[in-house]
Structure 1
Amino acid sequence: MVKPKLKTAGLAVVLMALLAGCSQNNSSSSPSTPTEDDNSPVTFSYYMFSPGKKDTLASETRIGKELQEQTGVDFKMEYLVGDSATKAGVMIASGDYPDVISSSGEMSKLLDAGAYIPLDDLIEEYGPNIKRVYGPYFDKMRNAEDGKIYALPYTANQGEYSGNPNVGGGAFWIQRSVLKEFNYPKITTLDEYFDLIEDYKEKHPTVDGAETIGFVSLAGVANNFFTLQNPAMHLAGYPNDGSVMVDMNTHEAKVVAGTDEQKKWIQKLNEINAKGMLDPESFTMNKDQYLAKLTSGRVLGYFNYGWQIGDATKNLLAAGIDEKRYAPLPIVFDESVKDQYIDPPGFVNNYATGITVNAKDPVRIIQYFDNLLKEENQILVQWGIKDETYSVDENGRFYFANDDQRKAHDDLELSRKFGFTYFGTDWPRYGGESTLSDGNAYSPGNQPEVAAASYTEGDKKFLDAYGIQTFSELFNKPEERPWFPAWSIALEQGSPEQIFTTKSDDLQRKYLPEMILGTPENFSKLWDSYMAELSKLDKAGYEATITKIVQDRVAGKW
C-alpha cells in the first residue's frame, strides 16, 4: 500500500512527547504509572477535521458526562471551519497540535509531519477492548514504513453486516411532491429524472412566492466538491471508490476525470443550467446555506450522500410535511446499467483518530478510548440509555417505544444535547454496519424494527406505491469488492500519485463549474481545453499505482 513516510524528525518529536507526557502529572498519580481507578479530572483537546458541528465540551452532553463519570476524562471538542487542507497546513507549520486529532482526509499530511505517536505499546498495555475491536484489522492499520499503528479507524465492523434500510449513502434525491404529482412513476435514467423535475417545475414555478429550484449542488464547498465529481461513477454503475472506477474482472482502476462518463454527466448539468433548472448558487453557497435550501421546500432534486444531509433530513421530518421530504433514487445513465450505490462492506484506515505528539497524557487518553469501546458504551453512544432513549422487547430486540425515544435521536437539538450528534462519528468505534453480540444492529437506523416503526404515513404511501418495505429495496444489493473503498488508499505526500490527485482536482474545480455554467455552444471548446490540461498529468502512472494496490488488496495484501 502507498502510505506516507514518517519523518525521522517526527519520530524524535514523538519520543520527546512521550517522555514529556510521563513527566507531567495531571492527576493524583503519575500517568507513567497509572492505576486502574485513576479517575481524577482531566480535560484534553480534541480536534475534528469534519465540519458542521458546534464546538463543545464532551461533558456538556449526556453521553460525554456519563463517560466522564466512568473515567474522569473530558474533551474540549473543536470542529473544522473553512478548508481542511489549510487548517492542517497551519497546524503542521506551527507544531501546535491538540491532544487528539480526528483526521478525516488529512491523515497523510499529519502522519508525514510526525503529528501522531505510535499506539502499539499503549494498546498492548492498556487496550484489551481496542484489541478485541481492531485486532482483526491490525495488519491493515500498520504504517508501511515502520509497521506501527498510529490511529484508530472508524470502520472496524463487528458481528454480522447490517445494511441501512433507509439509504445512508449516495443517491439522486427527489422531492416526494414531484413523484406524487405524476402518480409515483418508476424512473431509472438521468434523462427521466431531469425530465420529471422539469415538468414539475413548469407546473409549479414558485413555492410560497419564491422560485422553485430544479436541482442544486454542494460543489461550492471545497471539502464537498466530490458531490459534483462522484455522480459520474455512480451513473455508470460503480460504487464510491473515490477518483477511480475499478473493473470487476481485471481489477484495473480508471480515473474518472476526463472519461466519457464524466463528460456525459457534466454536459447534462450544462443542459439543465441552460434551461434555468440549476441553482446558480451551487458554486458559491456554504453548507449551512445549502441545507437551509433543502429544508425550504423549494428544491426538487439534488445528488448527495445521506450522511451529509442529516440536519436537513431531521428538520424536514420535524416539520411534518411529507411531500417536501426527499426520496433516494438509484439513477443511472441508461437501463442497461446495474446500479451500485450501496457500499459493500469495506475497511478505511486513513479516516481515523490518533493521539498527537503534544498529548499531555497518552495513557489516560488510550484508557478512555478502550473504555469507550466496551460494548455497553458502544450501545450508549448509538442507542443511549435503556428505557429513556430506547427500549428492549421480550426477545431482547432494541426499539423505540414512543415518540420521545425516537425524538432523542431524530430531533437535531435533542440529539446534540444527548450527544448522539457528537459521538456518532470521529471517535474510535464499531463500524456503522456492525451488529452487537446479541444480534441487534449497532446503528439504530439499521435496526429493521426501528426503520419500520419510524415510517410516517407519507413514507408508507411512498413504499406502497413502489411495492417495497424499505427505501433501500429500490437499490441493487452491493457486489463484493475486497479492495473497497479505493479512496482509502493513502498516498505519500509529495509522491507522483499525490501530486496527480491534487492537480487533477484543481483542474476539475476550475473547469467543471465553467463548463456547467457556460453556454451549450461553448461546452465542447471548454471540454477540449480541460482535456488538454489533464493530458499533461501522469494519469497512466497514477492508474498503474492504484491498480497495483487494488490487485494487492484482492490478493489479501494491505
Structure 2
Amino acid sequence: MKGTGQKLVSAALAGSLLFVTACSADKTKDAAPSGAPAGSPSAAESSKSPDAKEYVIKVLTQTNNQIKRSDETKIGKKIKEKFNMVFEYVQAPGNYADKLNLMLAGGDYPEIVSIQDNATFDKYARAGALLPIDDLVKKSPEFAERYKVQIPLWKLSAHDGKLYKWESSVPADFKNVVEVNDVGVRIDVLEQQGWPQLLSTDDYIKFLKKGLEDNPTTNGKKTIGMIVPFGEPWGMQGISSIMYEKGGRYSTAAGNLGVLWNQVDKKFEDTMTNEYVKESLAFFNKLYREGILDKDSFTDKLDQYNEKLNSGRTLSSWYAVWALTGANQGLVDAGYPEQQYINMPIRSKTQIERNEKRQIRVEDTRPHAIHAITKNAKHPERIMELLAWSATEEGKVLLQSGIEGDEYTIANGKRVPTDAFKKSLTNADAARSIGFGLFDFLGGVLSTAPDGVPYSMQLDPAMQDELQLTQGMRDAYKKLSWENSKDYFLKTGEAANTGIASTVVIDTTSALGALHQKMIDFRIKNSATLIISPKTDEEFESLYQSVIASYKQLKPETVVAEYNRLYQEKQTQLNQFK
C-alpha cells in the first residue's frame, strides 16, 4: 500500500526507464573515476579495449528529468570515461505496459528493457527476447556476491530456470528501510498528558478518551478521535486486520488476501481466524463504541482522510502515516505548529504479553523494478562489463554517493555527506546535475557499505529524519527519548525477508481461486459488522464466534493447504538453483 507523502528528490527522479536502439561514434580513453574508494578493480578494467567506440543507448523515460544525455551529469561523465558508454534520455508519455507489449509484438524491443511486473517479464522471456546473463555471474564474483540471495529467486521466476534479469533496490538492509505504518498521534495532546509512551491498545483507548475530553474542539470544529481510510479498496480488506504485523510472528509478505505468512514457522495461515486479526477488530469495535473512531471512516478514502488530517482536527490516524509530514508542514504554515503528528507504535494485548521481536518486511525481490538485456543488444558484452563494475565497491559508491570531495568526505574511515549532497536531496536541479536517480537501471542497492554508512547516504536514519521530518516532529521524538523516528522499531523489530512467500499465489481461474476470493469477500463484509454492531465485549465475542462458525463452512483450510503446497514446491525448486 503506497503513500503519497513527502519523498526525497533523488527518489522522485528515478522514473521508469526503457532502453532503445544504440549507435556508435567517437573514441575515448579508459580513465578510472577519481575519488573512488580503494578496493578491487572493476571487472571491466582488464577486458575493455582502450579504443572502444562510444556506445550510446537511448533511454525512454516517463520522468521529466531535463537531462538529455548521461554525460551531462557528474556520474555519467565518469561512466563515459571508464566505459565510453552514454545513455540518452528521451521522454515517452503514455501507458508504459502497453509500450512494452507493442514492442514485443513488433520485435522492435530495446537493447536493455525495464519491466514493471513479472507477467510482462514472463512474456519477454518465453518469447526468446531476453539474453541469459548466467555467464555474467560466473565471470563477476562481485555481482554474484551482491545478489547471492536474489539470483536463485530470479531464476525461479523464469520459465526455464535461467537468469535473465536483475532488479533495482535490492538487496536491502533492515535498518535502512524500516517501513512501519502504525498510528499518527497529535503532538500537543502528547504534551498535555506528559508525553506517555503509548504502546498497547488499552493505552490508546485511555489516551484518546482523555484527549477528546480535554480538546472537544479544534480550530473551531469538533475534534475527531481517530480517522481511518476504510473506504479505499485496501481499507477494510487490509488495514482493519493489520494488527497482525505489529507482533512477532507475521509479516505482510502475503499481502492482504485470505492467508497470512507466518514468518517464524515459515507457513501460511488463515487470516480470518487469526488471533491477532481478532484483536485488531476488537480494538476498532472498542474505538467505535467509545465514540473515538470517526463514523465516516467506513466511506472515507485518502482524499477525505488527508483533508481531516491537514485540518488538525483529529487526535490520531491509523496506518496512512506517510501523509504526516505534508500535513504537518501545512499546519505550521497555517499557524498551528503545536497540532503536528508523529508516528507511534501499537501492539495488541497478546503481543505485549509475548514481547516478541516485530517482523518488519524487507523485500528480497522487486518485480516492479526489473531490468534485462535483450537479443537486440549490439554489444551485450559491454553492457555486462558495466553491470559487473556496478556491483563493485567503486561502482556502488559512485552511483549512490557521488564523488569524494564533492558529495562526501572521509572522516574516521566513513563517508560524511557534504552540504552539496544534502542540497541534492531537496533540490531537483542539483540532484540531476550529479546524476542521482538516473542510473537505477544499474541496480542501486539499499544496503550498507563496509564503512558502516549506507551506499545511498540518504538512507541513514538520522539523515532521513533531517530531510523528512519537521522540527516539531524531531523535538517530539526527543521528548519521548527516542534517538530518531525509527528508534523504537529498530530496537524491538527484526528483518522479515520476503523470500519466496510473496511470490506464491493460487490460480485465480481455478475452483480454489474462486474459493479464495469468497474468503476475502466474507472477511471484508463481516469485519465491518464486527466493528459496528457489538455494544459490549461480550457481544463482540458472541458475534465473532457466530461469524467464524459460518466462515468455516467455506472450508478455508483447503486454500491454506494449497498455499503451503505451492510454497513447498517453490522451495524445492529454489534449492535446486542455489
Give the letter for the 2:64 counterpart. Answer: T
Contact 1:266 / 1:512 at 8 angstroms: preserved in 2? no
From the superposition, tell whether residues 315 and 384 of structure 1 become closer, same or farther in structure 2 (CA, over 3 Å): farther
Larger radius of gyration: 2
Q: How high is the TM-score relative to the length of structure 1? A: 0.69
Mapping for residues 427-442 of structure 1, pairs under 5 Å? 427-432=441-446, 434-442=447-455
> Who is 2:154 aligned against?
141
Shift of 1:486: 5.7
1:186 aligns with 2:186: no
Shift of 1:452: 8.5
SS of 1:173's equivalent?
strand
Contact 1:157 / 1:431 at 8 angstroms: preserved in 2? yes
> Who is 2:5 aligned against?
none
Mapping for residues 102-251 of structure 1, pairs under 5 Å? 102-103=115-116, 106-108=117-119, 110-111=121-122, 114=126, 117-120=130-133, 123=136, 130-131=143-144, 133-135=146-148, 137-143=150-156, 145-154=159-168, 156-157=170-171, 161=173, 163-164=175-176, 167-209=178-220, 211-222=222-233, 228=239, 231-243=242-254, 244-246=260-262, 248=264, 250-251=265-266
Q: For residues 415 and 285 of structure 1, what CA distance do their matches in structure 2 show?
A: 36
Give the letter for the 2:59 counterpart. Answer: F
Q: For residues 520 and 278 of structure 1, what CA distance do their matches in structure 2 show?
A: 17
SS of 1:117's equivalent?
coil
From the superposition, tell whether residues 497 and 421 of structure 1 become closer, same or farther in structure 2 (CA, over 3 Å): farther
- CA deviation profile, 1:503-534 (whole Å, cap 9, x unmatched): 26852685267437754469848946982685
Q: For residues 219 and 546 of structure 1, what CA distance do their matches in structure 2 show?
A: 31
The number of residues matched between the two structures is 507
Contact 1:346 / 1:484 at 8 angstroms: preserved in 2? yes
Q: For residues 350 and 202 of structure 1, what CA distance do their matches in structure 2 show?
A: 48
Q: For residues 443 and 500 of structure 2, what CA distance do their matches in structure 1 show?
A: 21
Q: For residues 534 and 100 of structure 2, what CA distance do their matches in structure 1 show?
A: 43
Contact 2:75 / 2:402 at 8 angstroms: preserved in 1? no
Shift of 1:142: 1.0
Shift of 1:183: 0.8
Mapping for residues 385-534 of structure 1, pairs under 5 Å? 390-400=407-417, 402=419, 405-409=421-425, 411=426, 422=437, 427-432=441-446, 434-447=447-460, 450=463, 458=472, 461-475=475-489, 476-479=491-494, 484-485=498-499, 487-491=501-505, 499=513, 503=517, 506-507=520-521, 510-511=524-525, 514-515=528-529, 518-520=532-534, 524=543, 527=547, 531=551
1:545 to 556, 560, 565: 565
SS of 2:354's equivalent?
coil
Give the letter for the 2:370 counterpart. Answer: T
> Who is 1:5 aligned against?
none
> Who is 1:332 aligned against?
348
> Who is 2:24 aligned against?
28
Q: For residues 318 and 361 of structure 1, what CA distance do their matches in structure 2 show?
A: 55
Give the letter for the 2:175 counterpart. Answer: G
Q: For residues 417 and 289 of structure 1, what CA distance do their matches in structure 2 show?
A: 35
SS of 1:56's equivalent?
coil
Q: For residues 509 and 495 of structure 1, what CA distance do their matches in structure 2 show?
A: 20
Contact 1:231 / 1:265 at 8 angstroms: preserved in 2? yes
Q: For residues 436 and 191 of structure 2, what CA distance do their matches in structure 1 show?
A: 32
- CA deviation profile, 1:11-65 (whole Å, cap 9, x unmatched): xxxxxxxxxx9xx963137xxxx98845454423357xxxxxxx33473799994
SS of 1:59's equivalent?
coil
Give the letter for the 1:152 counterpart. Answer: W
Shift of 1:279: 6.8
Q: For residues 101 and 222 of structure 1, what CA distance do their matches in structure 2 show?
A: 28
From the superposition, tell whether residues 401 and 336 of structure 1 become closer, same or farther in structure 2 (CA, over 3 Å): same
1:262 aligns with 2:277: yes
Shift of 1:336: 0.3
Q: How high is the TM-score relative to the length of structure 2? A: 0.67
Runs of 5+ consecutive residues of structure 2 not aligned to the other structure: 1-18, 26-47, 255-259
For the aligned residue pairs, the C-alpha RMSD in angstroms reads 5.3
Q: For residues 53 and 395 of structure 2, what CA distance do their matches in structure 1 show?
A: 19
Shift of 1:146: 1.5
From the superposition, tell whether residues 277 and 255 of structure 1 become closer, same or farther in structure 2 (CA, over 3 Å): same
Moved more, 125-134 or 188-197: 125-134
Shift of 1:238: 3.1
Shift of 1:111: 1.9
Contact 2:186 / 2:339 at 8 angstroms: preserved in 1? yes
Determine what percentage of the aligned residue pairs are the same residue: 14
Contact 2:183 / 2:318 at 8 angstroms: preserved in 1? yes
Q: For residues 427 and 292 of structure 1, what CA distance do their matches in structure 2 show?
A: 37
SS of 1:261's equivalent?
helix
Contact 1:67 / 1:73 at 8 angstroms: preserved in 2? no
Give the letter for the 1:138 counterpart. Answer: I
Runs of 5+ consecutive residues of structure 1 not aligned to the other structure: 1-20, 48-54, 82-86
Contact 1:201 / 1:212 at 8 angstroms: preserved in 2? yes
